[in-house]
Structure 1
Amino acid sequence: MAAQRRSLLQNEQQPSWTDDLPLCHLSGVGSASNRSYSADGKGTESHPPEDNWLKFRSENNCFLYGVFNGYDGNRVTNFVAQRLSAELLLGQLSAEHTEADVRRVLLQAFDVVERSFLESIDDALAEKASLQSQLPEGVPQHQLPPQYQKILERLKTLEKEISGGAMAVVAVLLNNRLYVANVGTNRALLCKSTVDGLQVTQLNVDHTTENEDELFRLSQLGLDAGKIKQVGVICGQESTRRIGDYKVKYGYTDIDLLSAAKSKPIIAEPEIHGAQPLDGVTGFLVLMSEGLYKALEAAHGPGQANQEIAAMIDTEFAKQTSLDAVAQAVVDRVKRIHSDTFASGGERAKFCPRHEDMTLLVRNFGYPLGEMSQAAPSPAPAAGGRVYPVSVPYSSAQSTSKTSVTLSLVMPSQGQLVNGAHSASTLDEATPTLTNPVPRPPWAQGDWDGCRGGSQVERNWRELVQEEHWCWSPPEWVGWAGLAPQSRVKRRGVPGLSGGRGRPCQAPRERRGPESG
């Protein structure tokens, strides 16, 4: 919670144009900063937090979610979060768009963000080159005479301004269809309630040096894929796709592992998965940074992190009364597991000397929250992938959940490579789904006494049910009452836009329907 409060304070000190975008209240976020442990088990923050996230809805009922994992500073993640919002929420997407249109807009948005960031550091790169040309050749920096000290200090400052990169996973919900775009190692999971329990599907693939498709892409550029896989990292990162990082974008010919490449080997082109229909789906979407699942894998071993995290989320759905509390409780749980494993001195303690920043975003699709939890229905297995029953070691003795959860794992489809990107959607559109029975609030049942009759939200619902004979759809109402009031996006600077000014965007009026997040 301390990290979350610190993040809020930082946002207050550095206002953004996105501060006035309407938030989606059908989602929640939890986070924790990085930690390194000393021999006595004390944890300290190794660097300022570098993760970022967003959860917005636009006036045309388009929802945008994102989790961004940075390295070597937070400049890139902050830039990406703001600029992606500008590229996707200022009228670029509408209900009239086809699936092909949405995919095209997503590809274009990532391309614009990448080019805009690299252009934003052009002046700093030019100044760096000019200063370096003033230093005597062949002399190590620590041996330079005192008159060069100011140049060295300025070079250090410039390096901080231009260094770093980011991995991103973004989800767009439009016309009740889900699209996921990712660059790097963050993950998106779709967790659906089925007759066999909770079906957990990873919607994207990790862009790492262990991904055979990525190794093939690099080999087509003339690189030694076997050597890359053996080394495991490229300039300190496992990711083969990333936003920013000028060193591998501009200077790859000077990097031994990449110097033979015919063109840029490390790219920011996203893989896009979907559209995934969500009609009748009861469950939740998970976006998480690499730091979260890596911390759990360090403590418990690889292979089960997705299922463990899904089980933790399910448990917290039954215990918590807000989605932020659900997400934060899971992050705190993973953090404790990691620190306890290190403190235990056991077999896996050697894998847990530190963990990176952790961010978890959960978007609800009618899954029972808090006191509304009921016995889960038992669904049929999905038709769009191979389903594997899995056992999950996570359990809580104090859990008040009334839901018996059996998890199944659906492996993401690798698909066909088209210009370095997968073309296949992860799930079959015919995947059968059943809806969890969710108790209706009193104002949907005509029990107006239970509403206490005070708020505008409740009066709206009365009007809908009594006068318009509105058809009730239970799974959608959860969290709706938290709608943000009307506001107008202020004309604050949007990074990378011409003139540094953003176009005004009228926030939606309060919609009297469950689809309004």
Structure 2
Amino acid sequence: MEDFYETRIESVDGQLIGLFGVFDGHGGAKVAEYVKHNLFSHLLRHPKFMSDTKVAIDDSYKSTDSEFLESDSTQNQCGSTASTAVLVGNRLFVANVGDSRAIICRAGNAVPVSKDHKPDQTDERQRIEEAGGFVMWAGTWRVGGVLAVSRAFGDKLLKQYVVVDPEIREEIVDESLEFLILASDGLWDVVSNEEAVDMTRSIQDPEEAAKRLLQEAY
């Protein structure tokens, strides 16, 4: 299995913090497993975690990636996406690299809070080409004809082009925000954002809602 998830509830400066993540590996499970075990630990230790959470998230994505690449030189073609959510009080910080996706249900509507990073997107393709890489069709659009996502952890051989810079979005948690869904492309390839919300909105138990989506993905 190359997919992992992580959920943690921690106390920082007397405040409860929720950390949630989905990590979809490719080329093997090693990177996804490493990110699962290390990303949130790096984040919680960051000196600006409470004062500037977005900076802390950005730094933690990059430091986790760098540490893995330095620690294991054998996993040159192994990588992982990440879709994470960090709840600090009534502030929800969603970050992602790759094509795992986060959506929220707000007032009954499906609202994407992340953007899939695909090589054929105009801005991503331009960034890759300006760095000296190329995007070509090989069953789907791929970086260097190899990788179907344009941002990821790991992927050492393509690191110059496949960056780990997360896009980070902040949402305020109020009465209109009903729930959050984090999932890999195994779900989003077969279910739209709206369908995912419609399937789960009436289910009160989060675990049962997740099982319902899992059934659809398989």
TM-score, normalisation: structure 1: 0.39
Q: CA deviation at 1:333?
A: 3.1
Question: What CA deviation, in whole Å up to 9, does each residue of 1:312-358 have, x standing for no partner?
Answer: 1114x15xxx32122112211332xxxxxxxxxxxxxxxxxxxxxxx
1:94 & 1:104 partners in 2: Cα distance?
8
Contact 1:71 1:164 in 2 (8 A): yes
State the shift of 1:218 in Å.
2.1
Distance 1:93 1:78 in 2: 25
Query: How has the CA–CA distance of structure 1 residues 182 and 94 changed in structure 2, closer, same or farther, with 3 Å as cutoff?
Result: closer
Equivalent of residue 67 in structure 1, options 8, 19, 22? 22
Question: Is contact 2:76-2:156 (8 Å) kept?
Answer: yes
Query: Partners of 1:272 and 1:175 in 2: how far apart?
Result: 17
Alignment of 1:294-333 (within 5 A): 294=189, 296=190, 305-315=192-202, 317=203, 322-333=205-216
1:43-66 deviation line (CA, Å, top 9, x unaligned): xxxxxx110011111112121110
Q: 2: CA distance between counterparts of 1:184 and 1:284?
A: 22
Distance 1:287 1:92, change over 3 A: farther
> Comparing both structures, which one devotes a greater share of its residues to helix?
1
C-alpha RMSD of the superposition: 2.0
SS in 1 for 2:116: coil
- The higher radius of gyration belongs to 1
| 2:127 equivalent among 217, 223, 226 | 217
The 10-residue stretch of structure 1 (182-191 or 169-178) with the greater mean CA deviation from structure 2:
169-178
Quote the residue 1:265 is aligned against. 161
Alpha-carbon distance between aligned partners in 1 of 2:106 and 2:157, rounded to the nearest angstrom:
41
8 Å contact kept, 1:52–1:81? yes
Residue 10 of structure 2 is aligned to residue 58 of structure 1: yes
Task: Tell me what 2:31 maps to.
Answer: 76
Aligned AA (2:210): A
Deviation at 1:280, TM superposition (A): 2.9
Structure 2 runs not aligned, ≥5 long = none
Contact 2:49–2:56 (Cα < 8 Å) also in 1:
no
The one-letter code sitting in structure 2 at the alignment partner of 1:327 is A
CA distance in 2, matches of 1:270, 1:244: 14
Q: Which runs of 5+ in 1 are unaligned?
A: 1-48, 125-160, 250-263, 298-304, 336-517
Equivalent residue for 1:88? 43
TM-score by length of 2: 0.88
Q: How many residues are paired up?
A: 212
- Percentage identity across paired residues of the two chains: 27
Give the structure 2 partner of residue 242 of structure 1.
Answer: 152
1:286 matched to 2:169? The reply is no
Q: Identify, as 1 or 2, the structure richer in strand.
A: 2
Aligned partners of 1:76 and 1:94: how far apart in 2? 24
- Structure 1 residue 90: Cα displacement: 3.9
Task: Give the Å deviation of 1:204.
Answer: 1.1
Question: Does the CA contact (< 8 Å) of 2:23 and 2:82 recur in 1?
Answer: yes
Question: What's the CA shift string for 1:352-380, capped at 9, x where partnerless?
Answer: xxxxxxxxxxxxxxxxxxxxxxxxxxxxx
1:262-300 deviation line (CA, Å, top 9, x unaligned) = xx11111111112x1113334101101111111x15xxx
- Partners of 1:94 and 1:109 lie apart in 2 by 10
**CA distance 1:189–1:306, change in 2 (3 Å):** same
Distance in structure 2 (CA, Å) of the matches to 1:221 and 1:329: 42
Alignment check: 8 A CA contact 1:215 1:229 kept:
no
